[in-house]
Structure 1
């Protein structure tokens, strides 16, 4: 990004709401924070939090969607995003703007094409201040989320990439626009997607989601490699994450010695985030991953692939044997592997700090 000096004044009475990891990984969020000097930086999203932690910036984090965060702010606030393409970045801004209360506009700094969007007659004075600081042009825009009824349209997809609903991969995009519907107690593909039935089953465990309100996205959840930290602790509680990597931060509180992750994509996400915290992972997979993130594992981590069983079933069997009492991670891993025997094969083994991948 070609960053320039500014002659404007800081907008220090504002809150900067950053969505996703790419704004931090690219340096955009840090550059903007130094220019604007906001009174607060609020990060929405699990992977955004991971990237913010790696950046070392003091921020507040939430797993609430950006529209809810922005709607709750009483003063001036603006959204920072870096879409995978300028088109997808604009689509995201339109979606957020459409979810805000009626009469509440949005100022959206889209870093992928260095543009400040003023959605639905948002705060033009704030947009002007940001334009003075950044040198970015202002574009007036209008639109809505377009999520009425039982269907959902997900735009800005790239064919071949994973499609998520509420953090679960439910299929692969076959077109730039994916159309889903909910009916007869399930999720149906209308256009632009090859559904992954196993993923749909996982999603439906919590009931049929309200597609109009669901968190939907496509593509990788983060492109940067994870940063690694030293081992946090060797004895403590084991947290269980079952096909819901987006809930990880709620579970890795003080006292956790390791994480049992169930599912290919969940294990990749848990390994990535936990590497930064020095927490090992015992991952149970069955080989149907969607390459949504670059995996990385803390020392002590082990990933096993099932031999003819579903990761759901074997993972839940292991989870059922866990209690709340503290355990030695190394002893628990060794005992679990011995118990599983030929039912699994080890694909990642970082015991002893090595990085072996078998």
Structure 2
């Protein structure tokens, strides 16, 4: 009977390194392989690598959700990840397995190509001969789950006392952005970070500085289940974006976005996007560049730099207003031009842009056009 192998690819690192494709090809020698992306940030890397026919990116799924789905129709699952360190990679696998269900037959391939790369056998169900063969193919050592758990258990997790919760975050470096559910809420000042919540709101950090504006955007959050990331969302410095031709709608469609945690890919069929916020604009511009879609970004110079390099359509316009006023102007634009809606139809982009600039002019705020957000 042919072995059915499910592969969960997580994050852009494993794709940009070339190892996702290589490992999938290796696994295909041992059985029939089906692949899904787990997480959202790897989607751009899949598109750039022209791997949509190999890695399914049609759904927006958490890694644990992809694992649960693939576990229903496969004999063994492989989680491919390229964490920024052994600690973050192993901690990620430990938490994901906890969310997905510990009885799942899961093997993690972590940081292949690095000196500290490993294959983690998360339970005893896995075929030892198969794992040894794949380890030989990749020249990686195999370690057992207990060994990993002993390393990461004290570095992660949370303590809860009534309405108060303290969440430990592993593998942090000073200066890194702290993202909770896709929103930047602070910056790390230490390699030991604890996020403190009370009544479903973040109230303090040990080893980090809170970004108040980020907390306002985030709102209520359950720290016991929240997705917390630190550092850059995509670190590769040799990215070659793949451009997919955009076919304009008969009636041009403009969308409005003011929250980076939204699924930006759902705007791949619009003709123009108005984005509010520095990092929202940076991400929107970078992603929609692949679909040949321009944006108009409303920023105030408060960029946290969530990617190493951002791309911008030749017709995109980045407008920087006075500090602290991007949200205010954004609301004005949303009310005046969009009538509070997410999407509207327009006759032409030039006229719409003029109307948008009129809204800013009437506010009396000073503004300037910015060619590049990242220098």
Preserved CA contact (<8 Å) 1:12 1:36: no
- The corresponding residue for 1:194 is 209
Number of the residue aligned with 1:23: 14
Structure 1 spans left out of the alignment, 5+ residues: 1-10, 350-354
CA 1:272/1:12 → structure 2, altered by over 3 Å: closer, same or farther?
farther
Q: Does the C-alpha gap of structure 1 residues 79 and 68 become closer, same or farther in structure 2, counting only changes over 3 Å?
A: same
> Match for residue 238 of structure 1?
254
Distance 1:122 1:239 in 2: 48
Q: Which residue of 2 aligns with 1:222?
A: 234
TM-score (norm 2): 0.82
Moved more, 315-324 or 39-48: 315-324
CA distance in 2, matches of 1:95, 1:230: 35
Matched, 1:168 2:176: no
Aligned to 2:353: 333
CA contact (8 A) 1:226 1:275 kept: no
Distance 1:309 1:120, change over 3 A: same
1:64 is displaced (CA, Å) by: 2.0
Conservation of the 8 A alpha-carbon contact between 1:305 and 1:346 = yes
Task: State the Cα distance separating 1:232 from its structure 2 match.
Answer: 2.3
Shift of 1:18: 0.7
Report the counterpart of residue 370 of structure 2 in structure 1: 348
Q: Which residue of 2 aligns with 1:155?
A: 170
Number of the residue aligned with 2:135: 131
Change (3 A) 1:12 1:34: farther
The residue aligned with 2:157 is: 146
1:95-106 equivalent positions in 2, closer than 5 A: 95-104=95-104, 106=106
Match of 2:63 in 1: 66
Gap change, CA 1:122 and 1:217, over 3 Å in 2: farther
For the structure 1 residues 82 and 308, does the alpha-carbon distance in structure 2 shift closer, same or farther, using more than 3 Å as the test?
Answer: closer
**2:229 counterpart of 1:209:** no
Pick which of 45-54 and 131-140 moved more: 131-140
Q: Which range is displaced more, 178-187 or 271-280?
A: 178-187
Structure 2 distance, partners of 1:337, 1:226, is: 33
What is the TM-score of this pair, normalised by structure 1?
A: 0.86
CA distance in 2 between counterparts of 1:318 and 1:219 reads: 32
Task: Indicate if the aligned counterparts of 2:4 and 2:33 stay in contact, CA closer than 8 A.
Answer: yes
CA distance in 2, matches of 1:279, 1:186: 36
Structure 1 stretch displaced more, 231-240 or 169-178: 231-240
Counterpart among 242, 246, 249 of residue 265 in structure 2:
249
> Counterparts of 2:102 and 2:117 in 1: how far apart (Å)?
27
Q: CA deviation at 1:19?
A: 0.6
TM superposition shift of 1:317 = 1.6
Give yes or no for contact 2:38–2:64 (8 Å, CA) kept in 1. Answer: no
Which of 279, 289, 292 pairs up with 1:278? 292
**RMSD (Å) for aligned C-alpha atoms:** 2.5
How far apart, CA to CA, are the structure 1 residues paired with 2:168 and 2:267? 32
| Structure 2: segments with no counterpart, 5+ residues | none
